[in-house]
């Protein structure tokens, strides 16, 4: 038993994450096969295991795969430690109401940022470039860039290096130098701007959310078509985002201190 081992577990967990990224819409087997790089029998076998454990469910009629109840239970149990969504929800709703555009919370997950929630705007022309579950390398997209820019310089370099292959392969508009420049601009401005680099005409403004120790753990952002994000409105929205980010940070700090209250070990029953 050296370092690695348990390869089927790695693959299964990768699949599970993949199903999660499609939550809400559901995924077909062939999409999963394609995105995971596994082959059909293997993917299916692992999905059966995930279903046995309740982490994934399959719609009998459409045969599409969705996250299962156990995934939800697990996340709820992890919430005291990482509960960004529950504290950011109010802010996202408020932002979307105030701006009439779609608002988002994203969370940092290692080298990428994942969109946890999208609150639909009321303005009739909307961009659907970002949806719940979508992920982008840190630095690509408004929220994602806001998170990156809030990291220490050394960490930024580590992240960019680790992301280099993905960036080169799938984000042609994002060479590392461009991201470094964006980081500088973000810091100078106070908010991150994505001028339609992922989907043309779909612009975004984002601000980072930090934990009690000052580490960037996520971001709030707003997306709209380019004509609705001219510089003066950018700055306005940037200020709104910053104010809401502060509120979220306060709630987080409060709950985190509760969480770190020592809890005595207790006997338990297990199934």
List residues near DNA by CB under 7 A. 1-2, 5-9, 11, 28-31, 38-42, 44-46, 58, 63-64
Q: Can residue 33 be called a binding residue for a second copy (CB under 8 A)? A: no
Nearer to a second copy, 132 or 186 (CB): 132
Q: What is the three-class DSSP state of 173?
A: coil
Question: What are 168-173's contacts with CB under 8 Å, separation 24+?
Answer: 171/136, 171/137, 171/140, 171/198, 173/197, 173/198
Q: Can residue 103 be called a binding residue for a second copy (CB under 8 A)? A: no
Closest approach of Cβ 135 to a second copy, in Å? 6
Closest approach of Cβ 4 to DNA, in Å? 7
Tokens representing 157 are 């370099």
Q: Can residue 133 be called a binding residue for a second copy (CB under 8 A)? A: yes
Nearer to a second copy, 74 or 168 (CB): 74
Q: Interface with a second copy by CB under 8 A: which range of 129-137, 149-157, 173-181, 222-230?
A: 129-137
Applying CB under 8 A, among 29, 33, 35, 155 the residue interacting with a second copy is 35
Q: What is the three-class DSSP state of 100?
A: coil
CA torsion angle 191 192 196 197 (round to 10) = 170
Contact 227, 210 (CB under 8 A): no
Rounded Cα distance, 255 and 69, in Å? 25
Closest approach of Cβ 243 to a second copy, in Å? 23
Tokens representing 204 are 């975004």
Nearer to DNA, 26 or 195 (CB): 26
Q: Can residue 72 be called a binding residue for a second copy (CB under 8 A)? A: yes
Helices 142-149 and 176-189: angle between axes, nearest 10 degrees: 80
Q: Give the max Cα distance, the chain.
A: 60
Q: Can residue 25 be called a binding residue for a second copy (CB under 8 A)? A: yes
Task: Show the binding pattern over residues 188-207: x = contacts a second copy (CB under 8 A), - = does not.
Answer: ----------x---------
Out of DNA, a second copy, none, what residue 253 binds, judged by CB under 5 to 8 A for its kind, is none
Closest approach of Cβ 190 to a second copy, in Å? 27
Tell me which residue has tokens 């994505």: 194
Phi, psi (5° rounding) for residue 27? -135, 150
Site size toward a second copy, by CB under 8 A? 81
In the chain, count H helices and then E strands. Answer: 9, 8
H or E stretch covering 250: helix 231-259
Nearer to a second copy, 47 or 222 (CB): 47
Q: Interface with a second copy by CB under 8 A: which range of 64-72, 94-102, 184-192, 205-213?
A: 64-72
Q: Interface with a second copy by CB under 8 A: which range of 42-50, 178-186, 204-212, 239-247?
A: 42-50
Closest approach of Cβ 48 to a second copy, in Å? 7
H or E stretch covering 98: helix 84-99
Rounded Cα distance, 25 and 45, in Å? 22
């Amino acid at each position: 038993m050296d370092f690695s081992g348990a390869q089927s577990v790695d693959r299964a967990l990768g699949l599970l994450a993949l199903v999660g990224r499609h939550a809400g819409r559901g995924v077909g087997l062939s999409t999963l096969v394609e995105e995971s790089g596994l082959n059909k029998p293997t993917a299916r076998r692992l999905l059966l295991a995930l279903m046995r454990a309740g982490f994934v469910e399959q719609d009998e009629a459409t045969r599409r795969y969705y996250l299962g109840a156990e995934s939800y239970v697990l996340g709820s149990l992890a919430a005291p430690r990482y509960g960004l969504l529950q504290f950011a929800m109010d802010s996202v709703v408020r932002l979307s109401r105030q701006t009439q555009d779609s608002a988002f919370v994203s969370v940092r997950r290692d080298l990428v940022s994942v969109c946890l929630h999208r609150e639909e705007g009321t303005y009739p022309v909307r961009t659907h470039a970002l949806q719940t579950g979508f992920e982008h390398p840190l630095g690509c997209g408004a929220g994602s860039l806001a998170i990156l820019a809030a990291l220490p310089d050394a960490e930024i370099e580590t992240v960019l290096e680790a992301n280099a292959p993905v960036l080169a392969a799938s984000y042609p508009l994002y060479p590392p130098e461009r991201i470094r420049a964006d980081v500088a601009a973000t810091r100078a401005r106070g908010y991150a701007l994505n001028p339609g680099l992922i989907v043309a005409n779909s612009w975004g403004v984002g601000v980072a959310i930090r934990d009690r120790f000052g580490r960037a753990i996520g971001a709030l952002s707003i997306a709209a078509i380019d004509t609705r994000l001219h510089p003066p409105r950018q700055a306005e929205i940037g200020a709104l985002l910053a104010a809401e980010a502060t509120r979220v940070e306060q709630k987080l700090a409060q709950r985190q201190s509760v969480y770190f209250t020592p809890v005595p070990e207790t006997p338990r029953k297990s199934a």
